[in-house]
Amino acid sequence: MNFRGIHAIYRYEMNRSFRTLIQSLVSPVLSTILYFIVFGAAIGSRMDNISEVSYGAFIVPGLIMLTVQMQSVNNASFGIYFPKFIGTTYELLSAPLSFVEIVIGYVGAATTKAFSIGLIILSTSYLFVDLEIKYPFFMICFLFITCMTFSLLGFIIGIVSDNFEQLNIVPMLIITPLVFLGGSFYTIDMLPPFWQNFALLNPIVYLISGFRWSFFGVGDVPILTSVIFMLMFTSICISIIWYIFKTGYKIKN
């Protein structure tokens, strides 16, 4: 293993985030705080408890998921797309690095950034709502795996994209709607029966449900289903990346 090479990519990516700290950290945290103020404090105070949890506390896991999923995808996709755009991928390909090492460097950095943002948002939420985490260890693991899996997805998007428009299409037109409709702000049993069944087709439902379970011990679907779904999603992303690097698709000529 070329550990120094992996660390070089990881450090380079982290430094890039520090150079653009407002965009990387302040912006997502501020957006989430606004959600807390609007949905948690203003509207939430007039809403009934859901599964004996105040609405303000109920939306915390959903808001963390919403932010970390978007951040993971954006960070990882931009991280690999930018070198492609400016032509510096030649450095990675001509260095004694395996494809696995390159992925670990980029995905590791994107995961770290999103995971840190998730923890900052969680800490911030204590300023607005009373919150008790039932399974903290599971919550940390689930948050970490979510960040990693969505970073893998972002890496795939960054590799496949040929321009900035394509880079934004998947996060904006697919992931954002799925995350918003995935139960960040409600439980799916609040939907009419037809839409409840329809919502179960949304993979994000399983992830938000699993994460919410770690906070309150309740979710839209059984926790085992969420875990299986998460592992399946991770495996699919890894398989696609393995295929990309094996064939050199969009990377090697």
Q: Residue 12 or 138: which CB sits closer to other proteins?
A: 12
Which amino acid is residue 112, in one-letter code? T
Which parts of 61-100 interact with other proteins (CB under 8 A)? Answer: 83, 86-88, 90-97
Quick check: 4 binds other proteins (CB under 8 A)? Answer: yes
Quick check: 175 binds other proteins (CB under 8 A)? Answer: no
Binding mask 98-137 for other proteins (x = CB under 8 A): ----------------------------------------
Q: For other proteins, how many residues bind (rule: CB under 8 A)?
A: 26
Nearest partner of 44 among 59, 61, 27, judged by Cα:
59
d(CA 214, CA 236): 24
Choose the stretch contacting other proteins; rule: CB under 8 A; options: 7-15, 30-38, 69-77, 120-128. 7-15
Quick check: 246 binds other proteins (CB under 8 A)? Answer: no
Nearest partner of 218 among 45, 52, 7, 42, judged by Cα:
52
Give least dist CB 170 to other proteins, A: 24
Quick check: 3 binds other proteins (CB under 8 A)? Answer: yes
Give least dist CB 22 to other proteins, A: 15
d(CA 192, CA 176): 22
d(CA 7, CA 13): 10
Quick check: 2 binds other proteins (CB under 8 A)? Answer: yes
Mention every residue, 6+ apart, whose C-beta is less than 8 A from residue 116.
25
DSSP state string for 110-169: HHHHHHHHHHHHHHHHTTTS----S-HHHHHHHHHHHHHHHHHHHHHHHHH-SSHHHHHH
Quick check: 193 binds other proteins (CB under 8 A)? Answer: no
Give least dist CB 99 to other proteins, A: 11
